[in-house]
Chains A and B, each alone.
Chain A
């Protein structure tokens, strides 16, 4: 065991898999010698050589398209899209190609690739370095979408993603790369070393895709969340005094419906939390699932706390970001209904 930040845990996952499997290689903008703008691929080129960890031209379509070809050949490429906001030029390759090659070829060709992308705001990144595009991937048949919230999960989930035989979109909440930021920005930043989930095995282990994690057991309501917002949910729960069960979904597609059902049927209340824009966001899907599976157990309308339906505003990002006070308001509405 070692104490790791999420960046170190992701680096350790890549290191572990590159050591185990020569089919694993990684590339993207600035990921080679420099080790990536967030340092997730640091030292990998030094350790495994330039052919296994290299810089790519600034062309996300090319990064995704060539990775598809490599995966079709039989490699297991892990690509980095420098910011999730930059993935749009790759979108056709991911949606029309990676997602459908198994299906359209009737299982003749497959695409075991992993697409890593830092996502989310709270870093003064403005509208082009802060987006949360997860719903643009969960809407696509043939893709899996994964979002870790802790270093321990990040490593175990990334290893599962790399070993998965289908394309996996792996969104990394960059606001918690270096610490479990909980949305209380007036308080000092807590480093990962103070958090139990920063204890990460140095070797190989996996966390299965499609399995949620109950990070706090509770009886009065269920909060469904993922990524950075898991930590914000915990802070809101603490500040509210409401005994909420906080679920970190970890995989958005396929989602762990059993965990959702069991919890909401127990608590009878559900608050859904994400940073992405609200309309047609992943929370809408969660609300629909809860309604379909738990309607007769619900004591209150399902609440959604999300980013607003605006671009991510640079100077107003703390008004945009769903901080604990906004979440607590929704929790109280659910309790009072």
Chain B
């Protein structure tokens, strides 16, 4: 039998593996400032090209260029930079705390700080965020006390989640931060429903949600895209394309064939693709999408093109699946360094100020750490009464839980 026409199964593979040189060939990016800024009422069909380009404001020398430059006052820029510095210092400390056995698990947002910090600053504190697990910058930029975050990470006696959730699965309704699930992409249709409810109620608040490149393969994402488009929900759906789902490169989620922003095209949703390491560009596209949602013009899908600087979590070692220096070679740089450079280039910041800000952040985190540890770290005895396990399963405890609770009594 002739094998001439035999089929062959394609299994996507990244350009480089451990031991290889980082290889970003095949990727082309528009120049900073080159992408026009459409009106917020542009129809999704007019916006198709944005799904395949890349909105960039900062060049690699720190200049803000083009129509998307948000023209923020220096104080706002410094605030953004300080939140990013604090987020990074917090991550660094908590990563080490896990290594020291103070908690079971941690997830850093190293390299992705611009996204959550800039977006948190654009959104109103009343808007509701439905995050995934790498958006700690949202809370930090909403001035949520970092000691509370540590209490949660340590599951200690002041843990607002009462020791029930994995570390980093924060929740704070008053800060517009929805309880993190840990199951992937489930928050996306929920954000759409929340936004539909806001529109139904004649409210002015909008919703925003985040998921990773890998999670876009989940059915929930596609359900959410359908509902958001059908009902024109006032929601911003953010795909943080950090190139990796644990060890799988974004090609496994479909990134080899198209962009993640292009998912919006098929659903008739406004798609934007942005340099996620460019604080100003992220800020500007979020303003655009929020303004569009608030004007009842419907949802926006934003792909943030970035790079996961650290491991997925404390449970994996990236040197086993990607080149060790890939992050350092990332063509779009480090978001924190790039905003610093911009502030310096406009004469509103200096290396000394930067060093001082970093030291202040480290000290703030250290101080919060001391305070949190006073209330214990994971495994400290008596942090939570065993009885508390049965509370909040329902509003009122049904008989069978009362009976099970009694079984715990000695």
Contact A67 B193 (CB under 8 A): yes
Contact B394 A166 (CB under 8 A): yes
Contact B160 A109 (CB under 8 A): no
Contact B399 A65 (CB under 8 A): no
Q: What's the least CB distance linking A66 to chain B, in Å?
A: 3
Max chain B C-beta neighbours (<10 A), residue from A77, A108, A141: A108
| A97 and B181 contact, Cβ closer than 8 Å, known pairs A73-B197, A107-B392 | yes
Q: Answer yes or no: A4 CB below 8 A from chain B CBs.
A: no
Measured in the bound complex, the distance between the Cα atoms of B183 and A26 in whole Å is 26
Contact A59 B197 (CB under 8 A): no
| A104 and B393 contact, Cβ closer than 8 Å, known pairs A69-B207, A72-B194 | no
Q: Answer yes or no: B173 CB below 8 A from chain A CBs.
A: yes
Contact A69 B196 (CB under 8 A): yes
For A210, what are the chain B residues with a Cβ–Cβ distance below 8 Å?
A: 398
Q: Answer yes or no: B58 CB below 8 A from chain A CBs.
A: no
Q: Answer yes or no: A43 CB below 8 A from chain B CBs.
A: no
Q: Answer yes or no: A105 CB below 8 A from chain B CBs.
A: yes
Contact A102 B196 (CB under 8 A): no
Q: What's the least CB distance linking B289 to chain A, in Å?
A: 18
Q: Answer yes or no: A51 CB below 8 A from chain B CBs.
A: yes
Q: Answer yes or no: B186 CB below 8 A from chain A CBs.
A: yes
Which of B216-224, B306-314, B358-366 lies at the interface with chain A?
A: B216-224
For B162, what are the chain A residues with a Cβ–Cβ distance below 8 Å?
A: 106
Contact of A96 among B186, B198, B391, B400 (CB under 8 A): B186
Contact of B223 among A25, A51, A65, A101 (CB under 8 A): A65
For B200, what are the chain A residues with a Cβ–Cβ distance below 8 Å?
A: 25, 51, 70, 75
| A97 and B186 contact, Cβ closer than 8 Å, known pairs A65-B224, A106-B161 | yes
Q: What mask results when residues 157 to 181 of chain B are scored 1 for a CB within 8 Å of chain A, else 0?
A: 0001110110001011100001101
Number of interface residues of B (CB under 8 A): 46
For A144, what are the chain B residues with a Cβ–Cβ distance below 8 Å?
A: 394
Contact B164 A108 (CB under 8 A): no
Contact A65 B186 (CB under 8 A): yes
Q: What's the least CB distance linking A249 to chain B, in Å?
A: 14
User: Which residue of A is nearest B209, CB measured?
Assistant: A69
Max chain A C-beta neighbours (<10 A), residue from B160, B391, B395: B395
Count how many pairs of residues, one from A and one from B, have CB atoms less than 8 Å apart in the complex. Answer: 142
User: Which residue of A is nearest B394, CB measured?
Assistant: A166
Max chain A C-beta neighbours (<10 A), residue from B169, B190, B197: B190
In chain B between 113 and 140, which residues have their CB closer than 8 angstroms to a CB of chain A?
128, 130
Contact of B201 among A73, A96, A166 (CB under 8 A): A73
Contact B192 A106 (CB under 8 A): no
Q: Answer yes or no: A126 CB below 8 A from chain B CBs.
A: no
User: Which residue of A is nearest B169, CB measured?
Assistant: A104
For B197, what are the chain A residues with a Cβ–Cβ distance below 8 Å?
A: 69-70, 73-75
Contact of A59 among B227, B395, B398 (CB under 8 A): B227
For A142, what are the chain B residues with a Cβ–Cβ distance below 8 Å?
A: 393-394
Q: What's the least CB distance linking B388 to chain A, in Å?
A: 9
In chain A between 249 and 294, which residues have their CB closer than 8 angstroms to a CB of chain B?
253-255, 257
Q: Answer yes or no: B195 CB below 8 A from chain A CBs.
A: yes
| A68 and B190 contact, Cβ closer than 8 Å, known pairs A104-B165, A104-B179, A166-B395 | yes
Contact A97 B190 (CB under 8 A): yes
Q: What's the least CB distance linking B126 to chain A, in Å?
A: 12
Q: Answer yes or no: A125 CB below 8 A from chain B CBs.
A: no
Q: What mask results when residues 52 to 85 of chain A are scored 1 for a CB within 8 Å of chain B, else 0?
A: 0000110101101111111111110100000000
For A124, what are the chain B residues with a Cβ–Cβ distance below 8 Å?
A: none
User: Which residue of B is nearest A65, CB measured?
Assistant: B189
For B224, what are the chain A residues with a Cβ–Cβ distance below 8 Å?
A: 62, 65-66
In chain A between 88 and 107, which residues have their CB closer than 8 angstroms to a CB of chain B?
89, 92-93, 96-97, 101-107
Contact B400 A254 (CB under 8 A): yes
Measured in the bound complex, the distance between the Cα atoms of B196 and A75 in whole Å is 10
User: Which residue of B is nearest A66, CB measured?
Assistant: B193
Contact A69 B195 (CB under 8 A): yes
Contact A108 B226 (CB under 8 A): no
Contact B171 A254 (CB under 8 A): no
Contact A105 B219 (CB under 8 A): no
Contact A104 B223 (CB under 8 A): no
| A72 and B183 contact, Cβ closer than 8 Å, known pairs A103-B164, A106-B392 | no
- Chain B contact residues, CB within 8 Å of chain A: 128, 130, 160-162, 164-165, 169, 171-173, 178-179, 181, 183, 186, 188-198, 200-201, 207, 219-220, 222-224, 226-227, 230, 391-395, 398-400
- Chain A contact residues, CB within 8 Å of chain B: 25, 51, 56-57, 59, 61-62, 64-75, 77, 89, 92-93, 96-97, 101-110, 141-142, 144, 165-166, 210, 253-255, 257
A-B CB proximity, top 5 nearest: A69-B193, A65-B189, A66-B193, A62-B223, A254-B398
A-B pairs with beta carbons under 8 Å apart, 29 shown: A57-B227, A59-B226, A61-B223, A62-B189, A62-B192, A62-B223, A65-B189, A65-B190, A66-B193, A66-B196, A69-B191, A69-B192, A69-B194, A69-B196, A69-B207, A70-B196, A72-B193, A74-B201, A75-B197, A77-B193, A89-B219, A96-B186, A102-B392, A103-B164, A104-B161, A104-B164, A104-B179, A105-B171, A105-B179
